[in-house]
Structure 1
Amino acid sequence: MDGADGSGTGSDAGSSVPAGGFVGVRGASEHNLRSVDVDVPRDRLVVFTGVSGSGKSSLAFGTIFAEAQRRYLESVAPYARRLIDQVGAPKVGEITGLPPAVALQQRRGAGTVRSSVGTVTTISNALRMLYSRAGRYPPGTVERLDSDAFSANTPAGACPNCHGVGRVHEVSERSLVPDPSLSIRDKAIAAWPGAWLGKNYRDILAELGYDVDRPWAELDQADRDWILFTDEQPVVTVHPIRTADRIQRDYQGTYASAKRYVLHTYATTQSAPLRRRVARFLEISPCPVCRGARLRPESLAVTVAGYSITELAALPLTELAAVLQPLGSIENAPAAPRDPLSGEDSEAGVLLARQVRSRIGPLVELGLGYLSCDRSTPTLSAGELQRLRLATQLRSGLFGVLYVLDEPSAGLHPADADSLRATLNRLLEAGNSLFVIEHNLDLIRHADWLVELGPGAGEHGGEILYSGPVAGLAAVPGSVTAPYLFTPRPSDRTPRRPSDWLTLGRVTRHNLRDVSVSVPLGLLTAVTGVSGSGKSTLISQVLVEVVADRLGRASVSGSEVEEEFTDSADGSGETGLVDDAVVSVDDVTVSGVERVQRLVRVDQKPIGRTPRSNLATYTGMFDAVRAVFADTELARERGYRVGRFSFNVPGGRCETCQGEGFVTVELLFLPGTYGPCPTCRGARYNAETLEVRYRGRSIADVLAMTVEQAAEFLADVPSAARSLRTLLNVGLGYLRLGQPATELSGGEAQRIKLASELQRARRGKVLYVLDEPTTGLHPADVEVLMTQLHALVDAGSTVVLVEHDLAVIAQADWVIDLGPGGGDAGGRIVATGTPAELAASDTPTGRHLAAAPTGPLAAFAAPILK
């Protein structure tokens, strides 16, 4: 292949040919790849880059890794293959020179709060063994506890009162009856829903002889306690009051107290909205038995270096290593401890302490020393989770392996980039190959080999623009990456002036301690700082919750993909969410919030959890599309209504696949696979529905269109056209309308949410909060995104970004920098001001901003070339 035109390995690449040879790919056609041929060197750091949707993941993961996994699984017993999560055989003609591969993909924190940093890295296992075999037991202990006794996830270790959760959920009269001046008929018991359930309970109480029209505060305390807290469930025959305009028949009803209803619903319901609703009436407090430690008292009584295992797991990893250093440094440890129930100086204690510290070392090198073992994985960013998994690979000692990584720099401050490169170099020096999907220009500059795909996204991409040493990309005229990689692009934007300020005071959460911060209104503000400095806690949690609370709405939950705080349709205001782990914001002082009329949080969480959710349904444009088809002449003749054109309900959908377009194919002794539905062939609709045409196209044809194609086809459908225009404006023209939500990246999901907001009519002063919006975006896509965000500010809104990208920071009007370090070393405001003022400050962010080719002082800095 020619390094300049993408047809060969390049004449200038001869000196760079590795001793390990090349991985040769021929005829790769996965997703949008156009029968790609490319040779990529082994034993080198190879970066795959290109605009979002250009085909990078399809080549690196969908083709190269998928084929490596397929070949490995050929050696595994067929029955065992069913237990392995497989990515499927790729569409490729041939791949040669392919070593065994390990994939480290971007995945948002998954699992439950019981999954933690310690469990992902296996440090928790070593700690439990350390306490079991070498802990100091209290006097009078007869025998050592098994390692399971130090895990809150096992019956042997979990606190019996809270079952290892660490907190208890209770209700009180105050939480169930917020306004005691109301009567039961007037909905004094707010925990009861206002529909049939509350009315039935009210009528049952009336039959039992309780006065449902008397103010709650005037009822006897004994009656109030029975109504709210009784475990009895009496069954009575109810005789509702009949009115002239409504006939109500007698019925038998079973009474359940408000406490029983709330706790039972919270624990058993499968409806997320219902669970969030009843959570509002719960009071959450630390377990009185374990005091939040989650373990049995006898397990908590065992110590190492004076700490219980819960206390040790709560320390930042750097401190944990320091605490265990004296134990692991003991020389000539006796084979058996001098005190059989105090083995810190035993051989087992020394070895286990060293083992824990050896597992912590790579995590600290990757800039994760601020994390603690008990940090739950759902609270981690995708970048943090991937680096945790990368650290475990450093300890594996494998060589001759191909590691395929998905943006390892995601969520990483530039100050931590050196440690990431050092980690990648260690994997290379161990005899491995690294294929990395990456947009970070600094990491690209340090690559040994660069593969750029493009030139565009979706059907406009899927071609190899260049494959060769990094310097050769400068000679490729069609490269989208080269201008950003080699040409200084200083920010010439003049910062705006704030219209007012939103100030928070006395903020205390996680590593934030009594922090005060002022956020300018009417500007684009970047919140910066090293990983773990407290950015997301301050902005995505506290700021969002405080503003939502002061606006009279419920606090936001981290479990929702997007939360817009507007009045619900019934005026109840029950559009917000409550997470049972959220700390109260009542103590935070705030001023200036009255100048914010609406709050919109846009994150990178999925827009849907099943393939039934897609771009068209999420943005709402599909309603307009279905209405257009229902209004056609044939649809009116047949009596087809709008619902006929939904693939989620019976009627118009294909019943063989129930509107999914594919069916599961079960294979004996092999993993099940998916295939197109044999009836509708993937169209999702039955034949009669597909006969209805709008401008010669069926509704299945419309779902198969890209945004770009649909914008032209549906130009005369105003509501759909508006949605499509905003999607084009945020650079998503390559996505298909019916593309399942499960196939979208985090960056794509975030831009879809932003587009959904942009298509709405502007209503007052809006505060937009985005957490690392550039993750997964090529610098060209970042420019498109920033254009839209600046347009929001020009329209009178306020945008606050948590961000590491120096190019974005340089374009901000105002910067709030936290630090100076991560974890306990952070949590403070270390600098505020314009980008130029921050670049002049002596903080990690300021120093890197001053030296960046895209920063406000770029005129004094040359691009950093290899």
Structure 2
Amino acid sequence: MTDQINIRGARLHNLKNLSVDIPKGQLVAFTGVSGSGKSTLGFDILLKEGQRQYMESLGLVTYGLSKAPVESISGLSPTISVDQHLTHQNPRSTVGTVTEVYTYLRVLFARLGHRPCPVCGKNVPPVHASAGLDWEDDTDSDADGSGQTFACPHCEAAIPEMGMAFFSFNKPEGACPTCTGLGIIHRVNVDRLLDEEKSIAEGAVKGWDIHYIRHYLNTLTAAASYFGFDFDLSRAVKNFSPAQRDLLFYGANSPQFRRHFPDVEPPATVSKGRFEGIATNVLRRYADRIEDADYREKMEALLVTETCPDCKGTRLRPESRVVTVSGRSIVEVSRMALSELGAWLEGLPAVFSAQEMRLADAILQDLKDRIGRLVETGAGYLTLERSAPSLSAGEAQRLRLANLLGSGLSGLLYVFDEPTIGLHQRDTHKLIEVLKRLRDLGNTVLVIEHDLETIAAADTVIDFGPGAGKHGGRVVAMGTPAQVARAAGSLTGDYLAGRARIVVPKRRRAPNGKALTIRGARHHNLQNLTVSLPLGSLVAVTGVSGSGKSTLVFDIVDRALRQRLYGAAESPGEHDALEGCEYLDKIITIDQEHVGRIPRSNAATYSDAFTAIREAFAATDAARERGLAARHFSFNVPGGRCERCEGSGVLTVKMHFLPDVEVRCPVCHGRRFKPETLSARYKGLDIAQVLDLTVEEALELFRDVPAAASRLQVLADVGLGYLQLGQPTKTLSGGEAQRVKLAKELGRRTSGQTLYLLDEPTTGLHLADTARLLEVLRRLVEAGNSVVVTEHNLEVVKTADWVIDLGPEGGAAGGRLVAEGTPEQVASSEESVTGRYLRGILR
């Protein structure tokens, strides 16, 4: 068996005919500036080719998985990726269901739970007779606990037996009937749907055009006639009677309307008056499209989300919530941090009888192993009830890592995409130990990483560069971390050796006396927190993972300000007051969600640079001669684009039983436009060739087109000069997506009273790129704006004007203000974990 992965002549994206030998059985770090080719080699070549070769070896059809563009690649192992993309977007998924810890707890409670008798109220101990464990998946329906009963030992009333489904919020047996196990309910925001000053005929229902109005007026008239009440449709909605309102809002079949006519059966057809109701219609369409995240996001503008009034967000029905093990209900246990839950489970053998331990022993052992791995990967602060879609990319990655640790497999190649994302400096060494454990099982662990501590812990470092985009794609240094630190021409080596560093500002920007003050913040784990964010400054909100940073900044400040400034529908997290809003007239939140609503969206279109580029093409003599306007140079609208592929350059071929395959359009050959559009050239290049340019190249080309140059310059300033203009936004990493959003906002004029909120803006950034980003953030502050970042990267924290450190721990042990002040003041705090690490870096 070869001890190396041998790659010869890799030519994908910006890789320059790259040849490299990667040692197996080691922890290998791929490093280099953003866009230098690390991910191309790690994911697009090693991962895809490893998966393709493995499938081929099993005799599986690999049509659609093309061979990697390399001369040769040998020594590959079966490959598993752990990237930054969230896979659990279903609102029913929680940390408990994703990790299966909740599944084991359901067995524990079903077999050993105590509950009050529904008749006499006395304690009913568990029935040990049916001790077989009926495992089942959390999403399938089953007949678990199917109607079997036993007699209450006190009053002999028939009590149904409990199965696992009794504690599942994804099954009718356990789910709260009001919210069907979601823990939240959606109410339609009437103000967004109706103008109550108008009649229906005048367009009271927003979104109904003249055809809808005519159609629904007929149905409503028929309904009024069917039920025998007067309905003056020329009356303003605000003057409707209760029955008329309930018919319009909820429909003829709803309980809200039927209470007015309890003895009348609803009409059977639309022509007879079976009107659905505008609120009912919105809620039905929202529920029907559970897998379509984009559609649901649009619909959410019409909805108000509230905690379920019956289960109070616990998701379970009342009977399930009263069952206890050692005095704790499954709801209480689900709200414990994983580390706290582990300690509670450790104490159960002391309270269980010998017979109970025979049932519980295997369950407790498995729970101990699973929770231990989760704590080990730095996820110990998470609770089981935490919704999976709310996890950050780093948190989701660490849950996946914990699962991999449990597999015990060897001989694999693991490819990790920045595993330290979202980790406090304190927890980085724990993660490094976990990666080494995977390596010691006999695997090759490859991390694409910017964190210096992780790079220094690798067995081999392969540094890509020397620059980004066309300036990258080569190996500039390779060897142990010490060897790379000594290598001339390696930017990573310069930072490892301390030859290059991000400098601490000579003076901090003094507070201007204006501040945004949050009073009594109690959302999630915040402990009645009152804190002030100085305005006109760069403020870093820090703390260990799960300490409450995101809750404070995004769930409270962001939502409360949006409500105040724009009348947004989404309610902020629990707090008493937000003071100082009068100093701001705009809020811009830049998170790591993917940008662009359509597959054809790219960096040029999203940042608005492409509009000016199209206008520049339309102004050329060739375009004028052919009657081509700016719209003809757009691939998103008919006119100048290729209509065979509708401007995408590729056609999607549906494959039976296999993933869809994209093939190059046979008409335009991937160039997106009609030949006459391509005949117009700007400085010798057609519009398709311009889309193939990098931001830096396009900046040089359009230097004398101010509207294009200014927007392209901002993309370059935030470290995205290497991006191709036509690269689809859906292919960008979380960090790149965030910087494209930042560039879009920087391209706009600001009033100097804007608050920028950024979520870990250094994600995916080399230290050299971080230095450039900090210059951009400084420019915003110098213009009088306020910038707040939630951040673990101490290189950013040390340059902030003001630091707010939350903690001291994550989960229930967090949510308090540990320290605040300049980085130097926080570094002197004995209680602050961030301060302890900041002390070393400020020296």
Bucket of the pairwise TM-score, normalised by the shorter protein: 0.7 to 0.9
Residue correspondence of structure 1 range 453-472 to structure 2 within 5 A: 453-472=464-483
**How far 1:111 sits from its partner (Å)?**
1.1
- Conservation of the 8 A alpha-carbon contact between 1:175 and 1:283: no
What does residue 818 of structure 1 align with?
806
Match of 2:398 among 387, 395, 405: 387
Give the fraction of aligned pairs with identical amino acids, expressed as a percent: 44
Bigger mean CA deviation after superposition, 731-740 or 203-212: 203-212
Match of 2:524 among 500, 510, 535: 510
| 1:547-568 deviation per Cα after TM superposition (whole angstroms, max 9, x unaligned) | 222224315xxxxxxxxxxxxx
Q: Secondary structure at the match of 1:25?
A: strand
**Structure 2 residues without counterparts, runs of 5 or longer:** 118-123, 125-150, 152-157, 225-229, 255-270
Q: Which amino acid aligns with 1:93?
A: E
Match of 1:844 among 830, 833, 842: 833
Bigger mean CA deviation after superposition, 279-288 or 300-309: 279-288
Scaled by the length of structure 2, the TM-score of the pair is: 0.85
**Cα 1:632–1:401 shift into 2, 3 Å:** same
- Conservation of the 8 A alpha-carbon contact between 2:557 and 2:572: no
Check if 1:355 corresponds to 2:366. Answer: yes
**How far 1:726 sits from its partner (Å)?**
1.1
What does residue 652 of structure 1 align with?
640
What does residue 142 of structure 2 align with?
none
What does residue 124 of structure 1 align with?
102
What does residue 303 of structure 1 align with?
324
**How far 1:525 sits from its partner (Å)?**
0.5
Q: Distance in 1 between matches of 2:599 and 2:278?
A: 37
Q: Secondary structure at the match of 1:811?
A: coil
**Cα 1:449–1:232 shift into 2, 3 Å:** closer
Q: Secondary structure at the match of 2:169?
A: coil
Q: Secondary structure at the match of 2:347?
A: helix
Q: Which amino acid aligns with 1:353?
A: L
Q: Distance in 2 between matches of 1:478 and 1:170?
A: 59
- Conservation of the 8 A alpha-carbon contact between 2:221 and 2:273: no
What does residue 4 of structure 2 align with?
22
Check if 1:780 corresponds to 2:791. Answer: no
**Cα 1:329–1:47 shift into 2, 3 Å:** farther
Q: Which amino acid aligns with 2:536?
A: G
What does residue 74 of structure 1 align with?
56
- Conservation of the 8 A alpha-carbon contact between 2:203 and 2:213: no
| 1:244-264 deviation per Cα after TM superposition (whole angstroms, max 9, x unaligned) | xxxxxxx99996644334434
| 1:268-321 deviation per Cα after TM superposition (whole angstroms, max 9, x unaligned) | 579989866765665544445544332344544543333333332222111221
Scaled by the length of structure 1, the TM-score of the pair is: 0.83
| 1:208-246 deviation per Cα after TM superposition (whole angstroms, max 9, x unaligned) | 76557767666554554454444279xxxxxxxxxxxxx
Q: Distance in 2 between matches of 1:680 and 1:415?
A: 54
**Cα 1:845–1:225 shift into 2, 3 Å:** same
What does residue 745 of structure 1 align with?
733
- Conservation of the 8 A alpha-carbon contact between 1:183 and 1:212: no
What does residue 629 of structure 1 align with?
617
Match of 1:46 among 28, 48, 51: 28
Q: Which amino acid aligns with 2:489?
A: G
What does residue 682 of structure 2 align with?
694
Match of 1:495 among 493, 502, 508: 508
**Cα 1:775–1:584 shift into 2, 3 Å:** closer
**How far 1:32 sits from its partner (Å)?**
1.3
Q: Distance in 2 between matches of 1:610 and 1:192?
A: 25
**Cα 1:274–1:677 shift into 2, 3 Å:** closer
**How far 1:383 sits from its partner (Å)?**
0.9
Q: Distance in 2 between matches of 1:416 and 1:273?
A: 35
Residue correspondence of structure 1 range 48-197 to structure 2 within 5 A: 48-78=30-60, 88-108=66-86, 110-136=88-114, 139=124, 140=151, 144-170=161-187, 182=197, 184=199, 192-193=206-207, 196=210
What does residue 574 of structure 1 align with?
none
**How far 1:627 sits from its partner (Å)?**
2.6
What does residue 734 of structure 1 align with?
722
- Conservation of the 8 A alpha-carbon contact between 2:807 and 2:814: yes
**Structure 1 residues without counterparts, runs of 5 or longer:** 1-18, 234-250, 338-344, 556-577, 859-866
**How far 1:641 sits from its partner (Å)?**
3.5
Q: Distance in 2 between matches of 1:172 and 1:470?
A: 57
| 1:397-429 deviation per Cα after TM superposition (whole angstroms, max 9, x unaligned) | 112322221111111000111211221222223
**How far 1:689 sits from its partner (Å)?**
2.5
- Conservation of the 8 A alpha-carbon contact between 1:109 and 1:380: no
Q: Distance in 1 between matches of 2:193 and 2:40?
A: 52
Residue correspondence of structure 1 range 579-598 to structure 2 within 5 A: 582-583=571-572, 587-598=575-586
Q: Distance in 2 between matches of 1:276 and 1:742?
A: 17
Q: Distance in 2 between matches of 1:200 and 1:538?
A: 48
Match of 2:784 among 786, 790, 796: 796
Match of 2:15 among 26, 33, 38: 33
- Conservation of the 8 A alpha-carbon contact between 2:397 and 2:419: yes
What does residue 314 of structure 1 align with?
335
- Conservation of the 8 A alpha-carbon contact between 2:808 and 2:818: yes
What does residue 373 of structure 1 align with?
384
- Conservation of the 8 A alpha-carbon contact between 1:328 and 1:354: no
**Cα 1:358–1:254 shift into 2, 3 Å:** closer
Q: Distance in 1 between matches of 2:551 and 2:309?
A: 27
- Conservation of the 8 A alpha-carbon contact between 2:9 and 2:17: yes
**Cα 1:593–1:72 shift into 2, 3 Å:** same
Q: Distance in 2 between matches of 1:794 and 1:519?
A: 17
| 1:358-417 deviation per Cα after TM superposition (whole angstroms, max 9, x unaligned) | 100011122211101121222111111111111111111112322221111111000111
Bigger mean CA deviation after superposition, 274-283 or 469-478: 274-283
Q: Distance in 2 between matches of 1:110 and 1:617?
A: 29
What does residue 444 of structure 2 align with?
433
Q: Distance in 2 between matches of 1:673 and 1:731?
A: 32
**Cα 1:546–1:298 shift into 2, 3 Å:** closer
Bigger mean CA deviation after superposition, 597-606 or 630-639: 630-639
What does residue 346 of structure 2 align with?
325
Bigger mean CA deviation after superposition, 542-551 or 385-394: 542-551
**How far 1:528 sits from its partner (Å)?**
0.4
- Conservation of the 8 A alpha-carbon contact between 1:770 and 1:800: yes
**How far 1:677 sits from its partner (Å)?**
1.9
Q: Distance in 2 between matches of 1:275 and 1:448?
A: 46
Q: Secondary structure at the match of 2:770?
A: helix
Bigger mean CA deviation after superposition, 39-48 or 814-823: 39-48
Match of 1:478 among 484, 489, 498: 489
- Conservation of the 8 A alpha-carbon contact between 1:161 and 1:287: yes
Match of 1:601 among 589, 593, 598: 589
- Conservation of the 8 A alpha-carbon contact between 1:493 and 1:811: no
**How far 1:696 sits from its partner (Å)?**
2.7
| 1:662-715 deviation per Cα after TM superposition (whole angstroms, max 9, x unaligned) | 223566886553332222221112333322333332211111111111112222
Q: Secondary structure at the match of 2:677?
A: helix
